[in-house]
Chain A
């Protein structure tokens, strides 16, 4: 149905797509696999008309054509569901869909079509509900229905499961299979190998902008797929038995009101994180992860001093730098503008978290830049941060390299408590493995490591104990030995611990 031949797209010196070929037939579910930065998004944007290739051609339904822009793509029958939703929260489901369609169709007519589509594909949606009241999974349903309203022949989904619980993902896969049975082609972008092997008939694998190969993911082992994607065998982490130490961080009935309309309140959170263990907080994004991080780091102070305890002593009212003085280190989820200042050099970004607490770095308020450079080199060398010049602007590094830097920056201070939110978000597999190994090692040396993550694979890899955050409430801790995907998934979907155990 669609063939892309020798697609090349350059951004300056970077070749994002290097003579890529891609073919997809009616009724086929094809995976587009690759690490972050492999060129998946660029290729998809070319197919959807959002970018123009420097060379190469696109053949759709036996016809060579140029897709000038996304609306031309939609007119041809190519629909796309983006990773980041573009919905207006204040408008209803029907209104959001009406906005995306060519004008001239009444809301009543749209609501009728929507009901019909919902019923046919098992995508329950009420046209009159404001989008702001919907869960993330339901919002994605709106995006999918909006795409289906135009009866596309080819549907492109960009990392659709990154925001879903395992159960929600299964529901989505059922819908996608039905769409494929109707003869639609589906291009499924992902880096989650398990999903791809369960859902897709075929896979196209990219690495560094180049086509590595195509295969049938159902017939290839996970290790083989991963090798094609990463290009090197990902080192397995050696897990030595943990040494259980004293309770280093305790949350006792931590509650925080929501800071704004888009913030989640925290309700009565209890957690005991002993030294020597990796404690993971699982959960779907937006369930209070950043609020919990802010409370533990001290960016927002807890209402009561003894809601957060460090080695048994209250610290809920300590500032973030007092906590750092006491040996804590924090890595935020958002790198640009939170964990690092994009326009500042790496050395300047060292000052961000070390400036106030490192006496060598700022004597009487005057910054010693050579010490900052030393810390920068330490962080960059121990984490293999690739850079063109020794001290580039933080914003000029790739996402993965910047993450390595901000993690390295905190690890070199040898913290005895490290709290890290989404440690490997947007990081390539090799770097992610390195970061995870570092976290485990830090714990084995006796530090307390708290990892907030949405990535279940990651949690299963490194966590010694797991609790799940859902709508601002934290489940009971589950020890490593009792971990089970189904169980965690239900907790992520908001079931209470008792209900899950009963089921």
Chain B
């Protein structure tokens, strides 16, 4: 008896829709088992994790707030992963984007005025882009594996942020706390108008717009086409006359840029200043978002919402049931695992072959 995986002629349409749902259901089932083994009530555990955050206005707002960086980073990662360039360092590009954007109010406070915020966002995007171009250049020039270089640069970025907020950029009036000065009002992302919110900013509009634009670029432009061809058939891309190195530079540069934009929107938004820790691992979780969305930028919005739920639910379960805050990470990992497993069913037909079905009647 054995399992046979047969490649489908075309991806199954039903499975394409069913796979993310099945992945989520399997994650819930596995989660229930984990709660049981911890001696907790699985029903209550799943309730606090996945239902309770949806019932309160405060946590609904917080869900969207956390979804923004996840979605924005993941939108950029879609470009990168579709081209088979593996940027694992979005966390670092997020931080460097935040630093580059923050440098405007910190180093040039005289720019106070309507130009301040646009300049910060621009600097954030450029900073993330430049940081993403480091592993891209190393790959193109020296053939260095971008998985390793982009990941290692995350730790460089974290230490850089730590040094800046404890050293040169520390708030002189901040009682020696490791924080920058709070940004002036002109350097803050405005809250969503016409809504009774205090942490949700117009960054959500930027994020949705980014998802729509990137979706359009990928599906309707020659550049998007070159990215997709380069990712699945490098030889065909060469036949089409696309330059593989250029694609790597653009892919890592753009995904770094979106991560950087997410970084500055976070520090100039809900946080309002630089701190030693500005991200609970958004850059890594966004990898899960991108794959759960099957590398569709619009899909990233929905997937980011689901992953955001694990963050908020994790906090809720920690408070209500005394669970470790690491449970959120466990759920994210399980979700990624099942998302990838269920994807196999989209491209393969699975059949159980027993001695009887495989044999010829004789």
| Distance in angstroms between the alpha carbons of A422 and B360 in the assembled complex | 39
| Distance in angstroms between the alpha carbons of A393 and B11 in the assembled complex | 10
Which residue of chain A has its CB nearest to the CB of B347? A343
Contact between chains at A396 and B240 (CB < 8 Å): no
Which residue of chain A has its CB nearest to the CB of B243? A319
Contact between chains at A337 and B222 (CB < 8 Å): no
Contact between chains at A321 and B241 (CB < 8 Å): yes
Given A367-B225, A393-B10, A395-B9, is A339 in contact with B220 using a C-beta cutoff of 8 Å? no
Q: Distance in Å from the Cβ of A152 to the closest Cβ of chain B?
A: 22
Which of A27-35, A248-256, A351-359 lies at the interface with chain B? A351-359
Q: Which one of B10, B223, B358 lies within 8 Å of A52 (CB-CB)? A: B358
| Distance in angstroms between the alpha carbons of A367 and B9 in the assembled complex | 26
Q: Which one of B220, B241, B360 lies within 8 Å of A56 (CB-CB)? A: B360
Flag whether B361 is at the interface (Cβ < 8 A).
yes
Chain B residues in 8 Å Cβ range of A64: 362
Given A321-B241, A338-B239, is A367 in contact with B222 using a C-beta cutoff of 8 Å? yes
Which residue of chain A has its CB nearest to the CB of B357? A52
| Distance in angstroms between the alpha carbons of A338 and B238 in the assembled complex | 8
Which of B158-166, B227-235, B288-296, B322-330 lies at the interface with chain A? B227-235
Q: Which one of A52, A353, A365 lies within 8 Å of B222 (CB-CB)? A: A365
Q: Distance in Å from the Cβ of B343 to the closest Cβ of chain A?
A: 14
24 residue pairs from A and B, CB less than 8 Å apart: A298-B241, A320-B240, A321-B241, A334-B235, A337-B233, A337-B236, A338-B235, A338-B236, A339-B239, A340-B236, A342-B233, A344-B229, A352-B240, A353-B239, A355-B222, A356-B240, A362-B221, A365-B222, A366-B222, A367-B220, A367-B221, A367-B225, A392-B10, A393-B10
Chain A residues in 8 Å Cβ range of B235: 334, 337-338
Flag whether B359 is at the interface (Cβ < 8 A).
yes
Which residue of chain A has its CB nearest to the CB of B9? A396
Chain B residues in 8 Å Cβ range of A356: 222, 240-241
Contact between chains at B225 and A332 (CB < 8 Å): no
Within 8 A of B (CB), among A315-337: 319-321, 324, 330, 332, 334, 337
Within 8 A of A (CB), among B1-21: 9-11
**Which 4 pairs between the two chains have the least Cβ-Cβ distance?**
A321-B241, A396-B9, A320-B241, A341-B233
Given A53-B360, A343-B232, A393-B10, is A351 in contact with B239 using a C-beta cutoff of 8 Å? no
Central interface residue in B11, B233, B238, B360, by most chain A CB within 10 Å: B360
Chain B residues in 8 Å Cβ range of A434: none
Chain A proximity mask over B206-231: 1 for CB below 8 Å, otherwise 0: 00000000000000111101001100
Flag whether A66 is at the interface (Cβ < 8 A).
yes
Excluding A53-B360, A57-B360, A393-B10, 12 further A-B contacts by CB distance (< 8 Å) are A55-B361, A56-B360, A57-B362, A64-B362, A321-B240, A332-B239, A341-B233, A344-B229, A353-B239, A365-B222, A369-B220, A393-B9
Which residue of chain A has its CB nearest to the CB of B355? A68
Within 8 A of B (CB), among A37-96: 52-58, 64-66
Q: State the interface size on chain A (CB cutoff 8 A).
A: 43
Contact between chains at B359 and A52 (CB < 8 Å): yes
| Distance in angstroms between the alpha carbons of A65 and B361 in the assembled complex | 10
| Distance in angstroms between the alpha carbons of A337 and B238 in the assembled complex | 10
Which residue of chain A has its CB nearest to the CB of B236? A341
Q: Distance in Å from the Cβ of A126 to the closest Cβ of chain B?
A: 36
Chain A residues in 8 Å Cβ range of B233: 337-338, 341-342
Flag whether A224 is at the interface (Cβ < 8 A).
no
Which residue of chain B has its CB nearest to the CB of A8? B360
Which residue of chain B has its CB nearest to the CB of A52? B358
Contact between chains at B222 and A351 (CB < 8 Å): yes
Contact between chains at B236 and A54 (CB < 8 Å): no
Chain A residues in 8 Å Cβ range of B223: 365
Flag whether A305 is at the interface (Cβ < 8 A).
no
**How many residues of B sit at the interface, in one of the four size bands?**
20 to 34
Chain B residues in 8 Å Cβ range of A486: none
Chain A proximity mask over B233-265: 1 for CB below 8 Å, otherwise 0: 101101111000000000000000000000000
A residues apposed to B, CB below 8 Å:
52-58, 64-66, 297-299, 319-321, 324, 330, 332, 334, 337-344, 348, 351-353, 355-356, 362, 365-367, 369, 392-393, 395-396
Contact between chains at B236 and A339 (CB < 8 Å): yes
Chain B residues in 8 Å Cβ range of A362: 221-222
Chain B residues in 8 Å Cβ range of A344: 228-229
Given A56-B360, A65-B362, A299-B239, is A341 in contact with B221 using a C-beta cutoff of 8 Å? no
Given A338-B239, A341-B236, A352-B236, is A66 in contact with B360 using a C-beta cutoff of 8 Å? yes
| Distance in angstroms between the alpha carbons of A321 and B221 in the assembled complex | 17
Contact between chains at A341 and B229 (CB < 8 Å): yes
Contact between chains at B220 and A366 (CB < 8 Å): yes
| Distance in angstroms between the alpha carbons of A56 and B181 in the assembled complex | 83
Q: Which one of A52, A319, A369 lies within 8 Å of B360 (CB-CB)? A: A52
Q: Distance in Å from the Cβ of A173 to the closest Cβ of chain B?
A: 34
| Distance in angstroms between the alpha carbons of A353 and B238 in the assembled complex | 10
Given A52-B358, A52-B359, is A351 in contact with B225 using a C-beta cutoff of 8 Å? yes
Which residue of chain B has its CB nearest to the CB of A65? B362
| Distance in angstroms between the alpha carbons of A65 and B359 in the assembled complex | 11
Contact between chains at A54 and B360 (CB < 8 Å): yes
Contact between chains at B222 and A320 (CB < 8 Å): no
Q: Which one of B10, B222, B361 lies within 8 Å of A396 (CB-CB)? A: B10
Chain B residues in 8 Å Cβ range of A352: 229, 236, 239-240
Which residue of chain A has its CB nearest to the CB of B349? A12
Chain A residues in 8 Å Cβ range of B361: 55, 57
Contact between chains at A355 and B359 (CB < 8 Å): no
| Distance in angstroms between the alpha carbons of A369 and B233 in the assembled complex | 21
Q: Distance in Å from the Cβ of A46 to the closest Cβ of chain B?
A: 8
Q: Distance in Å from the Cβ of B58 to the closest Cβ of chain A?
A: 43
| Distance in angstroms between the alpha carbons of A134 and B221 in the assembled complex | 48
Chain B residues in 8 Å Cβ range of A366: 220-222
Chain B residues in 8 Å Cβ range of A396: 9-10
| Distance in angstroms between the alpha carbons of A320 and B242 in the assembled complex | 9
Q: Distance in Å from the Cβ of A484 to the closest Cβ of chain B?
A: 36
Q: Which one of A56, A355, A393 lies within 8 Å of B225 (CB-CB)? A: A355
Which residue of chain A has its CB nearest to the CB of B225? A351
Given A338-B239, A356-B241, A396-B9, is A66 in contact with B222 using a C-beta cutoff of 8 Å? no
| Distance in angstroms between the alpha carbons of A299 and B11 in the assembled complex | 31
| Distance in angstroms between the alpha carbons of A340 and B358 in the assembled complex | 35
Q: Distance in Å from the Cβ of B227 to the closest Cβ of chain A?
A: 12
| Distance in angstroms between the alpha carbons of A334 and B362 in the assembled complex | 41
Chain B residues in 8 Å Cβ range of A332: 239
| Distance in angstroms between the alpha carbons of A392 and B11 in the assembled complex | 11
Chain A residues in 8 Å Cβ range of B9: 393, 395-396
